[in-house]
Amino acid sequence: MRRTTLVVLLGLALMPAAVHAQETAASAVRERVYAITDTASLRRIERGSDDVSAAFAALRLFELTSDKRDASRARKHFDRITERDPRNAWAHYGHALSLRAEVLDKDGRLVLDDALARGLGFDATSRARRALERAVALDPTLPGAADLLATYAIETRDGSALELSRSSFETAAESPDASVESLLGLARVAREMHDFAAASSAAGRAASRSGPLFAASHLELAQALASVPGRTIEAGEAYYAALDAADGALLDRMWDDVSLIARESEQERWLRTASLVDKRAALRAMWDPRAALAGVSPLERAAEHYARMNYAWEHFRRFGKVGAAPTSALRWQMIDKRYDDRGVIYIRHGAPAATYGLALQSYHVWMYYNAQGNPSSYHFLNPVGVPGYSKDFVLRRTLPCPIDPEIAVLDPRLAALIHGCVSQRSLSAQLRNEAERALATDSNNPVLERVIPFTFDWYSFRGPTGKTQVAVAFGVPLSRVPDGDPALRLDVSIADTAATPPRISRASASTPPIARRTSLDEIMRGYLLLDVEPVENAAYRVNVRDVSNARVGMFYGGTIDVRDYTGDTLMVSDIVLAEPREEGNFIRNGQPLALAPTQVFRGGSFRTYYEVYNLRAGSSYRTELTIEPARSGITGAVRDLMGRGASVKLQFDDVAPPDATSTLPQMRDVNAPLAAGDYVFRLTITTGQNTITRERRFTVPKN
């Protein structure tokens, strides 16, 4: 009895050694066969060898020829080996590799298997994954097996396979000199399991090495760090390090990531790229205008994109791969094969400001506000029971009616649908248009933890070398500044997004610490200057942020026409209305002005400044200054009829000095006692047959 036990124990002890020897022999056979590129020689080996050599020969033939018949024969060879020896890891691995003929299509991309087959686990990817699970469990060191298992585990959403793959990579990563491949594999699997701290740790180790995977390591590091709180800048730095070092294949992969938000002109530009220099420029051009119009750096905007992708992959990944869309869907063709419609909106526009609908409900509503404060709501339907779409939310084509009052609280425009359906068609059409715009654009309007309201105003003048100088005046009520004497960051961007590449002008400044005041009349004033190429319909963004917390502040955006002051015809700059009898820190042609971004002047007293361009020396010109009540609709007409629409007019006749240059600055003090209300200040310059007019609105408050 004692002897028998000893033999059994000895046999168990020797089994790992035997398996290792077996795997070593198989690896040697594989290396010998894979060194051959002549298909005739490989066919001779397959016909005249044992199953191990024959299996690898057939598999090598498949890799060279892409002939599915070669893959099928290789699978039969490997299956015969596993029947004789179920513990042969290479045989299970070879079975999985032979299934790539069914997993991959002719373009080398994963085939979107039938949803039913995937659900039952009969699809090629699931079968290959199960074979890889057995192979990795028997020998975690098989080259490439754990990585391929991770790929198939992600495709089939198999948590246990991911755990097995991660365990294999973690074992390899324990060594101080672990390979970059194993570290990247661990980072990828950990990120798939939403363990971004572990993913960034492994990717950081890989990125610290030089070599052919330097760029790929930095891209993996960027993707992981993007979802680690407080590591946004590091994520952006890693992304740009990858961009600078990437080869063509990795640049294509980086474009696949950003193509989720690319506009049509950007897609067309990418298709025209040929060189690595052009590809890098096209990718940089994706982030520069988006960063400017978000009030952040390109590093931060790129990192924000990957953080959104990570979140959408975890929460809004598409389940259905085939099947027709429901008739209630906004689009009949799926918008993206990786994410459902919620994921697409999330990646393009970030987290919604408010939501309606619980996780198990089939109807969700997401609420957003643009930089002008206008609402947009996106309505999603989960068409339960429709083949291919049984778990995926799609944008709705038609609003339900009657609508839940809670939805109307989110979007007051829909209040008419609470009790009736008369407006259903028109409101549905309006929201469809909004959804289509959302699918063609992207934005970065984060939900703020606390709002710091501010006012701003624009002034444009002739700038250097054909550009226009734009001054942006800020006014922040000191009564609304948070406690703690925060420093504020002022930021303004103007982007010509129609240009290729986009033209961007940006300026920013930070204030010293600002103390909160109780007076409602005190404001902190500041301004920023930009030199901008003249353009119509340029996009702009104006921000005021707490330096220590970017989610405390306020932002505005929209479009602006930047005037063109080039040429030799009569022109006039914008009108500046400044505080009366005060010398501020905005100096223009030697004239100090205290800018008033609120455009509120007690008693109707203010200082005005403007510039006249291209007056000939010694020429006569007339200046008319008119102040009249701002008219709007019926109220303005009634005021005219009642005789209370009278204007205040001032007129000056002047002669341009003999030494006049192309720019003639003018500053005048205006004191026109006016009743409380809104007014228009109009400037008209006339010389000869030429006349030009500028206007600016202002307010006289009640005492």
Q: What is the pLDDT of residues 31-47, one digit of tens each?
A: 888 888 888 988 898 88
DSSP conformational letter for 391: S
Whether the pLDDT of residue 111 is over 50: the answer is no
Q: pLDDT class for 385, splitting at 50, 70, 90?
A: low
Q: pLDDT class for 376, splitting at 50, 70, 90?
A: very high
CA distances in angstroms from 432 to 356, 377, 415, 428, 437, listed in the order given:
18, 10, 17, 6, 9
More confident residue, 391 or 129: 129
Average pLDDT over residues 322-333: 77
Q: pLDDT class for 329, splitting at 50, 70, 90?
A: confident
Distance CA 383, CA 393 (A): 7
Q: pLDDT class for 638, splitting at 50, 70, 90?
A: very low
Q: pLDDT class for 519, splitting at 50, 70, 90?
A: confident
- DSSP result, 253-293: HHHHHHTTT--HHHHHHHHH--SHHHHHHHHHHHHHHHHHT
Distance CA 475, CA 584 (A): 14
The pLDDT value given to residue 14:
35
Q: pLDDT class for 379, splitting at 50, 70, 90?
A: very high
More confident residue, 143 or 478: 478
110 exposed, middle or buried (CB, 10 Å; 0-12, 13-18, 19+)?
A: middle
Is residue 91 helix, strand or coil?
A: helix
Please name the helix (run of DSSP H) or strand (run of DSSP E) that holds residue 460, with its range, or none: strand 455-462
Residue 494 sits at the vertex; the CA angle it makes with 443 and 352, to the nearest 5 degrees, is 15
Other CB atoms closer than 10 Å to residue 264's CB: what's the count? 8
The pLDDT value given to residue 461:
97
Using the Cα atoms of residue 148, residue 193, residue 294 and residue 507 in order, give the sign of their dihedral. negative
The pLDDT value given to residue 389:
62
Pairing of strands 605-613, 648-655: unpaired
Contact between residue 506 and residue 530 where contact means Cβ atoms under 8 Å apart: yes
User: Which of 312, 308, 305, 313 lies closest to 157, judged by CA?
Assistant: 313
Average pLDDT over residues 92-120: 60
Using the Cα atoms of residue 268, residue 270, residue 275 and residue 280 in order, give the sign of their dihedral. positive
The pLDDT value given to residue 140:
83
pLDDT tens digits for 533-560?
999 999 999 999 999 998 899 999 999 9
Whether the pLDDT of residue 65 is over 60: the answer is yes
The pLDDT value given to residue 58:
84
Residue 379's beta-bridge partner residues? Answer: 365
Average pLDDT over residues 135-164: 81
Please name the helix (run of DSSP H) or strand (run of DSSP E) that holds residue 381, with its range, or none: strand 375-381
More confident residue, 377 or 25: 377
Query: Which tokens go with 92?
Result: 């299970």
Question: HSE on the CB side for 242, CA within 13 Å?
Answer: 31
pLDDT tens digits for 150-180?
887 777 777 888 888 888 889 888 988 889 9
Please give the single-letter amino acid code of residue 594.
Answer: A
Phi, psi of 662, deg, nearest 5: -75, -10
CA distances in angstroms from 562 to 401, 468, 499, 606, 660, listed in the order given:
45, 7, 14, 25, 26
Contact between residue 359 and residue 393 where contact means Cβ atoms under 8 Å apart: no
Average pLDDT over residues 645-655: 82
Percent of the chain at pLDDT > 90 equals 54
Q: How far apart are the first and last CA of the chain?
A: 110
The pLDDT value given to residue 114:
44
190 exposed, middle or buried (CB, 10 Å; 0-12, 13-18, 19+)?
A: buried
The pLDDT value given to residue 386:
65
Q: pLDDT class for 110, splitting at 50, 70, 90?
A: very low
pLDDT tens digits for 253-302?
999 999 999 999 999 999 999 899 999 999 999 999 999 999 899 999 99
Distance CA 304, CA 664 (A): 47
Q: Set out the domains of the chain in order of their start, with CATH numbers.
A: 19-174 (1.25.40.10), 205-315 (no CATH), 322-440 (no CATH), 452-564 (2.60.40.10), 567-703 (2.60.40.3880)
Please name the helix (run of DSSP H) or strand (run of DSSP E) that holds residue 616, with its range, or none: none
Whether the pLDDT of residue 430 is over 90: the answer is yes
Distance CA 80, CA 373 (A): 68
Q: pLDDT class for 21, splitting at 50, 70, 90?
A: low
Q: pLDDT class for 581, splitting at 50, 70, 90?
A: confident
Average model confidence (pLDDT) for the chain?
Answer: 86
The pLDDT value given to residue 107:
41
The pLDDT value given to residue 383:
79
Is residue 576 helix, strand or coil?
A: strand
250-254, 501-505, 535-539, 642-646: which range is least confident on average?
A: 642-646
Residue 313 sits at the vertex; the CA angle it makes with 312 and 317, to the nearest 5 degrees, is 95
pLDDT tens digits for 682-699?
999 999 999 999 999 999
